[in-house]
Amino acid sequence: MTHLKARSIPPRIQWQLEQQGLHPLLARLYAARGIQTRSELDYELKSLLPPALLTHAAEAAILLADAVEAQAKILIVADYDCDGATACAVGIRALRAMASDTGATVDYLVPNRFTYGYGLTPEIVELAATRSPDLIVTVDNGIASHEGVARANELGIATLITDHHLPAAELPAADCIVNPNQPGCGFPSKCIAGVGVMFYVMLALRAELRERGWFAEGSGRNEPNLAALLDLVALGTVADVVQLDRNNRILVNQGLKRMREGKLTPGLRAIFRAAGRDPSKATSLDLGFIVGPRLNAAGRLADMSLGIESLITDDQARALNIAQQLDALNRERKAIESGMQDQALIHLETLDTGEGAGVALFDPEWHQGVVGILAARIKEKLHRPVFAFARGENGEVKGSGRSIPGLHLRDALDLVAKRAPTMLLRFGGHAMAAGATIREADFPYFRELFAQIAEELLSPADLTRTLETDGGLESGYVSIATVSLLENEVWGQGFPAPIFEDEFVVENQRVLKEKHLKLRLRKGQQHLDAIQFNFSAAPGNTIRAAYRLAINDYNGVQTPQLMIEHIENIG
């Protein structure tokens, strides 16, 4: 069951925002999201938190600057999701620009997720060692890679870890670690993505090289404009679904601004084109649901090096060719996911999950690269924390989990590890997403223990889905101008896009493609078109609906349309 709950709007704050020149609708929306003054919506680059606040960023800059001056071989070891790919591309582009014509080399390695698993493992270090690097730089991984760092130390390879994941009690013995979540780091933006961490390290490196006179007149070296990388930073930040605090909103806003001005890396421009989207109208939703999934498809089904190559090439033709491959992989991913979801629903029919607080599913035919998306879909359907497992090698199964508010998934796995010390072979993650590897024979025990722990950690209120809305929307605001107004703002995790709720009379309804519901609604004297994707039940004559405002573009004619998120029958 879903409960609609309107956000509280402090009237005085709303009034103050209006007096400071904010559009009345935006004033209301921002007041409900905790914004106190218009200055908090200043997204200029000068408002970014300074790199000096990020613990060890200066030491990382010295390590990298020394390597550049020594004409060293630098190898970036990336993660295989969109955050990792964009972080790698930021590092490659920035380091190559700053190390140009020096003899220093900058390359990357992204491990196949099915062969090597996650993080800087000893096996990945051995693979990296075949390229004889002097320095390994991790992006979006490494904070839990004790054994891999130890192996690098044995081989005489220096290591710089840049990551944002939560660390364990003990940190790896790396030469330098930059992670806002490590103990003692006072960087205020704890939710910065991996790509954001790498961007900050590159800012610190440029400052260090500037201090050394690296870009001085007569050096023959140009100081790079790192703002040119903000399209990549914005993409990785949105795609990793990190909380959009003010610092992250600045990064995303600046990246979107560059996209809309046509200042994109060739790969992003090509992906927009392959997806049939116009980057001059780029929004946060485009990054999260159009561009990000196409990059992620490479890491899920093939090799993320394909995605990284699309982001680091300056060859327009090559970028478009790769973008078309990514588009094809994404279509394949959707087909695989659809089949797995059908199978998962069959599994659910045979399991007693109605009262269970946590769900774990396994099918030997499922694809390892898509279990995370599957877990997310089932979580949305059940409003329960869900783990989905696929068969790996050597008798192991690899699972990906997604959670709901109220249950920190990595902490739940930590409890599993404490109660069954030998069961979890590997695990890690965040509050809302995590991964785990277990023996196939232990899956029934994991399913039972995970359900038990979820039952302990979640209250009955947590298990009721609450959809927060922004209340009713005045009829005058149902317009294309309002859609444009809202799309120009930055929305995302922790700073959600507006959802409104109102009562409507259903004048007409029909089903499209056997799964989508097309509606003609009336509110007072106003007639509105609406659509609900993947609807579950036909509405009655009078409904209360939660909806987003969108544009329907049909044969070149644009009209406002309601995108229905939830329907309650009231008559």
Q: What percent of the chain has pLDDT over 90?
A: 81
Is residue 231 within 8 A of residue 265, CB to CB? The reply is: yes
Q: If you average pLDDT over residues 210-220, what whole number do you get?
A: 92
Distance in angstroms (rounded) separating the CA atoms of residues 166 and 444: 28
The tokens describing 146, both together, are 């004790």
Question: For tokens 């200066």, what's the residue?
Answer: 58
CA-based Rg of the chain, rounded to a whole angstrom? Answer: 24
Q: 113 with 244, same domain? A: yes
Q: 411 with 547, same domain? A: no
The last residue of one of the domains, among 463, 480, 497, is 463
> Which pLDDT value is given to residue 351?
60
Q: 493 with 537, same domain? A: yes
Residues 493-548: tens digit of each pLDDT: 899 999 999 999 999 999 988 889 999 999 999 999 999 998 888 899 999 999 99
In this structure, which amino acid lies at residue 207?
A
Q: 452 with 536, same domain? A: no
pLDDT tier, 88 (very low <50, low <70, confident <90, very high otherwise): very high
Residues 277-317: tens digit of each pLDDT: 999 999 999 999 999 999 999 988 888 999 999 999 999 99
Q: 176 with 111, same domain? A: yes
The tokens describing 547, both together, are 């909806």
In this structure, which amino acid lies at residue 387?
F
Pairing of strands 105-109, 73-77: parallel
> Which pLDDT value is given to residue 253?
98
The tokens describing 51, both together, are 């790199």
Lowest-confidence range among 136-140, 273-277, 556-560?
556-560
Distance in angstroms (rounded) separating the CA atoms of residues 270 and 327: 10
Q: 435 with 470, same domain? A: no
Phi, psi of 420 (to 5 degrees): -135, 80
Nearest to 114 by CA among 458, 512, 398, 501: 398
CATH number at residue 533: 2.40.50.460
What pTM was computed for the model? 0.91
Of 264-273, 408-417, 547-556, the range with the highest mean pLDDT is 264-273
Q: 428 with 519, same domain? A: no
Q: How long is the chain?
A: 571
Structural domain boundaries, residue 407: 351-463
Query: How far, in whole angstroms, is CA 157 from its chain's centroid?
Result: 31
Q: Where are the alpha helices (DSSP H) in 212-315?
A: 230-239, 246-260, 266-274, 284-286, 292-301, 305-312
CATH number at residue 270: 3.90.1640.30
Is residue 536 within 8 A of residue 525, CB to CB? The reply is: no
Q: 313 with 457, same domain? A: no
Whether residue 556 is predicted with pLDDT greater than 90 in this model: the reply is: no
Q: 496 with 565, same domain? A: yes
Q: 433 with 492, same domain? A: no
What's the mean per-residue pLDDT of the chain? 93
The tokens describing 389, both together, are 């497992």
Helix-strand-coil percent breakdown of the chain, rounded to 5?
45, 20, 35
Detail the DSSP E strand segments found in 87-207.
105-109, 135-139, 158-162, 176-178
Q: 441 with 477, same domain? A: no
Nearest to 187 by CA among 49, 60, 61, 41: 49
Cβ neighbourhood burial of 509 (10 Å; 0-12, 13-18, 19+): middle
* DSSP H/E element including 512: strand 500-512
Phi, psi of 482 (to 5 degrees): -70, -40
CA distances from 83 to 191, 233, 249, 308, 560 (A): 13, 8, 16, 11, 33
Whether residue 355 is predicted with pLDDT greater than 70 in this model: the reply is: no
Question: For tokens 């005058």, what's the residue?
Answer: 476
> Which pLDDT value is given to residue 352?
55
